Every structure is written in C-alpha cells, then in structure tokens.
Structure 1
C-alpha cells in the first residue's frame, strides 16, 4: 500500500479530491483520511489500522496532514512514500517563519529514504530549504524551473479543464522515466486552485499512471 501525505495549512482536501478524480477509472482503491482522525491512536493501534486498510485491498492511502500536526507522537510510527506540499512559505508571516521551517524539517523526516517530495517551485523560501534535502524532489508551478506547469487554463466559455505540461523528464517511484508531455485534466477551476491540479497531476505521474490514457 502506497502511503501519501498531503501536507499544508490549505487546499489539502482539494488536492486529494483532484487525485481521486484523475484516478477514478484506474481501478485503484484510494482511502483519504484526515490527520485528526488518527490523532488518538498510538503506535500499536496505528499499525492495526494500516493492516486493516491492506486487508480491504486499499492501494493508496492519502493522509491530509496539517503541518502543525507533524510533531505529534503518532508520526514517530509512520513513514510516507510520497509527500505533497501545498503551502507556500512565501505567504507565511515572518514572525512564525522559523517555526514553519522547523515543522518542514520534521515533515521531511517522515519521508522514507527513497520517498518523493512534490513541492511548489514558485516558492522562493522553500527553494532555499530544498537545496539541503537529499530526497528526490519533483516540482510544480508557473515558472520555467517547475517540472510540471500549464500552458492553458480552460477557455473563455467554460473553465472545466486544464492543460498540464511536463517540461522535463522525471522518474516514477519505481524508477521508470517519464518524458516531457502534455495532457488535460478535467476539473472545476472556479473552485479548485490550478496549483492543486498541478500537484495532483504530478502525484499521478510519479506513480506511473499514463494520464493521456485515462479519462478524467
């Protein structure tokens, strides 16, 4: 079972929902859980909970994790295959910036040795932070440095799809190479931030799914 955390203060649920929508026809069983539902568990009960999910043939567990929760004791017993960061440190108040960075370090400590971090390339502060990180990082955003970006958001009549563009080759969790490509993601852009769509599409790609062959 793939264990994923969507970490941040905002837009975790929207990002999780876009992932679920894209993978709707993949025949993968996805469980989306809020971190607050696990806060009362200890290590033994967490292990039992994860075992129960696997008995129910869950393929992907997505945990919506508030950054402020990463210091809780339960995360001493949980490690993630993939972490998707939805926040931008650029938007964090300067007075709490150091605390925010400390929590980010704690979040990265929850990533498995060969885990993947999916982060926003538009975030100047986090870009400095990531220079010291040894994990494999895949970026999304609206600049030339981002691996995943977009060249078109909807149209003038109905904003119901987004053209995502993979600008450079990336590697899946299993080591497969994915070459640059474009694909459309159908979504309601009036209620979902385009950044959430890019983060979700990046997650789907690094797990080896061919979005061009999936109706979403």
Structure 2
C-alpha cells in the first residue's frame, strides 16, 4: 500500500498541506520540495529519491515553467509557456526543440465541433479565475447561437456551488465533501464513491441519487 507524509506550507494566502515524502509498497520513497514560486503560490521545485539523486527539478520565470528531467545526467527539458493563465506553448526535449501551441477557440470547417454532455456543439468558451486560480465564471457559445453562462462559488480550493443559465445544465448544484476533502457528488448530482486510498475506483464510478 502506498503511503505519504505531508507538510504544511503557506501558498496563495492559505495554509495548505502538500506531499513531502511518498513511499512505495517496496519501501522505496521519493521526496518532494515545494520551494518554487509562481506569483503568490508555492510550487513543486524538485523530486529526489532516497539516495539523494535528483529526478526532477522545476524552475519558474515569468510565464515560463521549465521541467528538467534527471538534471544531473544531461539536458532533458520540457518547457510550458503560459499566457493569461492558459497554456500557450509546450516545447519538447527533442533535438530540434519541437513544440506545440494552443489556442482555446473551437474551429471547424465541417461543423464537427466538440459537444457538451447533451450533444450540443460548442463553438467557443471563455473563463475567469480568482486569485487562487479557482474557476469563477465560464461562458460557452454554442454553434446554434445559444449560450450558457456558468458561475462557480469556491471556499479555499473547494468548489461549493455551480449555477448555469442554459437548460442543458442543472440551474444550480451544491457540492459536499467528506472529512478527507473528497467531493461527494458531481455536477449532475451523482454520488461519488472512493476506495480506501481516496481514489475513485475503477469500473462504475457513480451511484444513484
């Protein structure tokens, strides 16, 4: 059974617990440090194994996050560039530094747009976040000209309520949590079940209302 040790840190104006050491069933462990800074937030800065070998280091500079894999054994580097809190570009650790760029607008020449749970085609979505990077508002423009405005209420890092203006969604949904911080229902009102490790188990995930 996997186990872990957590430690408290101050991040984004809140006191939170983050994993510090994770143990495998074999007894091996890795240790995580959160000395990185991204705005007001403390972030993962390195992972080392029990021998002290650094497996990963992470640096943060303006809107660029760089992941160094096995930094003591040559240059294997991923870069993630952000713009307005969105991933704009991912650069791969290949010899030609190949990269992907992202644009968050749905475009289709055939009309084959991504769809919501009711099958309605989505043309464009926009989002707003608070200082803790919690989603607070989203607007969805559908291909048929209709739109949905959704508002999200959070306490700390927990989503407490979501409201929608489009009939494809429930008008309002409150979210509950157990003593371990696991969410007990999804946005459709289905109850979520967890196994002893705190993970949603494989197979059927939802129980009835």
Greater relative contact order, per chain length (Cα 8 Å cut-off, separation 6+)? 1
Pairwise TM-score range, normalised by the shorter structure: under 0.3
The answer to which structure has the higher strand fraction is: 2
Q: TM-score, normalised by structure 2?
A: 0.26
Which structure has the bigger radius of gyration?
2
* TM-score normalised by L of structure 1: 0.25
